[in-house]
Chain A
Amino acid sequence: MYFDFHVHSAFSEGESSLREIAAQAKILGYHGICFAEYFKDKETMEKLKQELEQVEKEVKIKMFLGFEARNANELKRLVKLRRKYDVLLVRGGDLSINRLGVETPEVDILTHPELGRKDPGLNHVLVKEAAKNNVAIEINFRSIMLSTKSTRALVIKHMMENVKLCKKYKAPIITCSGAISHWQLRDPKVLISTAVMLGLELKQAKETVSSVPQKIIEQIKERSSGKWIMPGVKEL
């Protein structure tokens, strides 16, 4: 079972509708996708939830609602509303937000920590925190796909360093397309092959698109069961 947990639709910075993305994901062989949108207000969130449910029934693919926090204030607001949506992503790139992302147990994924940086954006301290708080570090395929020449070489180098640290400290790694259009969605085998090229074993690379997202889905189910209070605390 393959999942892509970082896709933007027209609700945030994306170009394609939920329906177009869901249909393309099904063609490519995904079992589920998570839309990572930017948080506006509760009303938009409810509207988005309803549309997701409708498209899920039509296209018959599992769909999850996620929000990507772009700064500390947004993250604070989203942590407060944690029960109301499925996946919490943090848009990495800035050192302070990278640190905040890996230190917050409510966060599921830290996206592209190396974005726009001259260093990998993570060190051993941050990766240990990510492993402790079970925050998955993302390999973003769009960062590789849309960059060229020396920029692409730099992005790949930083990703390799992050992968090396994650392997050493056993922090979860997730590979996502990071697509902003349904034409940027990629076959899961492409994402697996990219993870292999970045230094993971084939088995580990497969886990980044299957078992790591499945663990996040288990957490979603646990959270929505009503017994969940906060990370690590639940009613018996």
Chain B
Amino acid sequence: MRLRVLPPTLREKRRYIFFKVIAEAPVEYSDLEAAVWNTMLDFLGEYGVSKTSVWLMKERWDIKEQTCIIKCNHLSVPAVIASLGLITRLGDTRVAIKILKVSGTIRGCTGR
């Protein structure tokens, strides 16, 4: 048996943060995923991360453009962006994260 879907007014308001990884050399998704989770857990703690409802969307990782989308709730956008800014390395590669867009829909982020 599946749970009934919550009505829109009771659903969490999502935000999608579209970002680009600027790095010395192309990076792998696995390195990005590990860095995002480690940095967020370090900076916000387990309780803090639980309140952000954060999720890194693997299917939105563009290896060619080095862009990805991270999902969170509307109240924790500053916390998630600040955490992304704390990522200094992916593996051995030095990186900087550029925030391209914050939107309520995936289409709004990517324009596709």
Name A's B-contacting residues (CB within 8 A). Answer: 24, 27-29, 141, 144-145, 148-149, 152, 181, 183-187, 189-194, 196-197, 202
Contacts and interface: CB of A to CB of B under 8 A. Distances in A.
B85 A186 contact: yes
Given A141-B85, A190-B97, A190-B99, 18 more contacts: A24-B96, A27-B98, A144-B86, A145-B86, A148-B42, A152-B43, A183-B96, A184-B96, A186-B96, A186-B97, A187-B96, A189-B81, A193-B81, A193-B82, A193-B85, A194-B82, A194-B85, A196-B78
B54 to A, nearest CB: 14
B84 interface: yes
B86 A187 contact: no
Contacts of B85: 141, 145, 186-187, 190-191, 193-194
Given A27-B22, A184-B88, A193 B96 contact: no
Contact of B82 (A29, A185, A197): A197
A194 B77 CA distance: 11
21 contacts: A24-B22, A24-B96, A27-B98, A28-B22, A28-B96, A29-B98, A144-B86, A145-B85, A145-B86, A148-B42, A149-B42, A181-B94, A183-B24, A186-B96, A187-B85, A190-B82, A190-B85, A193-B77, A193-B79, A193-B80, A197-B78
A3 to B, nearest CB: 17
Contacts of B106: none
A187 B78 contact: no
Nearest to A185: B96
A145 B88 contact: yes
A5 to B, nearest CB: 17
Contact of A28 (B42, B82, B95, B98): B98
Interface in B25-71: 42-43
Contacts of B42: 148-149
Among A192, A194, A202, find the residue whose CB has the most chain B CB atoms closer than 10 A.
Answer: A194
A16 B75 CA distance: 37
A191 to B, nearest CB: 8
